[in-house]
A and B are shown apart, each in its own frame.
Chain A
Amino acid sequence: MVDPEAEQRSDSQLVLPAALQAEVVAHCLAAFPEEGCGLLGGDPTTGVVRRCYPTRNVAASSCLYTVDPREYLRADRDAEQRGLSIIGVFHSHTHTDPYPSPTDVAQAPDPSWHYVLVSLRDELASLRSYRIVEGVITEEPVEPGS
């Protein structure tokens, strides 16, 4: 028997247009050597991202991030005015793989969100997206959309 939730997770994807992927990576590079972070505004049902909200990392650390709470509030309001929702968060790992750390899993705020990781370890930044549901990490494809 197919677990409908597992089925849904395996079907999930993030549609992140190339220009927004570039914006995400550029913000992470600008924040280096600290971790860069931000929020993604889009359609929760399709996983299509329409807007990137780079935010300050108030943890100001190379191994931790905390999205500035006031910038999150502003992003949430802006997204709502545009008919969007905050559907995910991105952050960089400056020296490790683009894979959620135990800290990322423990602090994942919302199981419906997309968790985008950008690794700056290698010369070329790499970007991946995951779902994190009850501590279980599932990678999902990142499509540039049309």
Chain B
Amino acid sequence: MSVEVRLPTLLRPAAGGAPSTSVEGATVGEVLRALEVAHPGLAGQVLTADGELHKFVNVYLNDDDVRYLDRLDTKVGADDVVSILPAVAGGAA
């Protein structure tokens, strides 16, 4: 099924400039892999070479961080929205 994926500003140019796009997938992992296939410029930006989530991005299913759900195995439905945002961190250390 087709799922809406909302992209952060930084990744939009690699996906044609739009703030969101739709790809097929039944899990968050399938959606993110389909996103990379549809927009090869996004390869390596969200998933690592091993197919895991990069630590410097956060991926959400609707309102929830997928790290607190079933990560990439989290199931998605047609009305769900997958959002990607950068992890924002730093500090004096």
A144 at the interface (CB under 8 A from B): no
Whether A94 and B92, one on each chain, are in contact in the complex, defined by CB atoms closer than 8 angstroms, is yes
Number of chain B residues close to chain A: CB under 8 A = 19
Q: How far is the CA of A94 from the CA of B58 in the complex (A)?
A: 27
B18 → A minimal CB distance (Å): 13
Asked whether B91 lies within 8 Å of A59 as measured between CB atoms, the reply is yes
The reply on B78 being an interface residue by CB < 8 A is no
Closest-by-CB residue of B relative to A105 is: B90
Q: Which of A83-99 contact B (CB under 8 A)?
A: 85-86, 89, 91, 93-96
Are A66 and B87 touching (Cβ within 8 A)?
yes
* Interface residue A61 (Cβ < 8 Å from any Cβ of B): yes
Count class of interface residues, chain A: 35 or more
Segment among A3-11, A18-26, A108-116 that sits at the interface with chain B: A108-116
| B91 close to A104 (CB less than 8 A) | yes
Complex CA distance for A109 and B64, rounded to whole angstroms:
20
8 further interface pairs, Cβ-Cβ under 8 Å (given A65-B90, A110-B8): A64-B90, A65-B89, A67-B87, A70-B64, A73-B60, A85-B9, A100-B90, A110-B10
Interfacial residues, chain A to chain B (CB-CB below 8 A): 35, 37, 39, 44, 59, 61, 63-67, 69-70, 72-73, 76, 85-86, 89, 91, 93-96, 100-101, 103-104, 106-112
Chain B interface (Cβ within 8 Å of chain A)? 8-10, 56, 58, 60, 63-65, 83, 85-93
